[in-house]
Amino acid sequence: MTVLNKKNRYSAFILGVILLLCAVVFFLWSAIVNNSDIETSKGNFELQSASGPVALSDYRGKVVVLYFGYAFCPDVCPTSLGILSLALNELSTVELSNVQPIFISVDPERDTVERLKTYAEAFHPSIIGITGSTLDIAEVAQHYGVLYMKVDMPESAMGYAVDHSSEYYVINRDGSLNQKISHGTDPKKVAEVLRQALKS
């Protein structure tokens, strides 16, 4: 029993070290990305939703808010989508009709389009959940400077987690990047950024 407990403590220690190293890598990468030029050209992509293909170009004329995460995310994604939901509720009916929030999954192995629909709409009915092939998601993520990485968790029932950067990407009506909004930003501030983007 004592040997088993030592083995479990050792496994937990190793897992903790791995997660700490991942956090350090993400911190350093975020610093690099935040201090470099982000792609601001009029990008486009097409991924899949439960209702069919969704392309960024489908929403030309609207302000789009992108968030990259995954449905099995234990804390960061629910917090971020909760904040986004509160921000959307700050908008008037007319403003909201001109904003399209999109949740892009970086976990195509587990996140089916049906699961994403249920998950995204649980936070706000206007949020569309989309995903695609591993390659398609990687291309979209690279375009916006999003970093994500699969982390095996053999001791967990989840099997693995996906560490990812957590920011909102506000896209102008013409498809170009307006700005990024940091994780944890107050919902009223997020709403104000969306209003400013609507005016531009």
SS3 48: strand
Q: What residues contact 199, with CB distance under 8 A and at least 6 apart? A: none
- What number of CA atoms fall less than 13 Å from residue 121's CA on the CB side? 11
Q: What is the pLDDT of residue 5?
A: 53
Tally of domains within the chain: 1
Write the CATH number for 175.
3.40.30.10
- Beta bridge pairs of residue 181: 168
Q: What is the pLDDT of residue 37?
A: 43
pTM, 2 dp: 0.80
Q: What is the mean pLDDT of each run of 10 residues along the chain (200 residues)?
A: 50 48 43 42 86 97 98 95 98 98 97 98 98 96 95 86 96 96 96 96
Q: Which long-range contacts (CB under 8 A, 24 or more apart) does 140-145 make?
A: 140/45, 140/47, 140/104, 141/68, 141/104, 141/106, 143/39, 143/43, 143/45, 144/38, 144/39, 144/43, 144/66, 144/68, 144/169, 144/177, 145/33, 145/36, 145/38, 145/39
Q: Angle at Cα 27 formed by Cα 31 and Cα 35, nearest 5°?
A: 5
Q: Of 102, 73, 68, which is closest to residue 88 (Cα–Cα)? A: 102
- Which structural domain, as residue segments, surrounds residue 87? 2-199
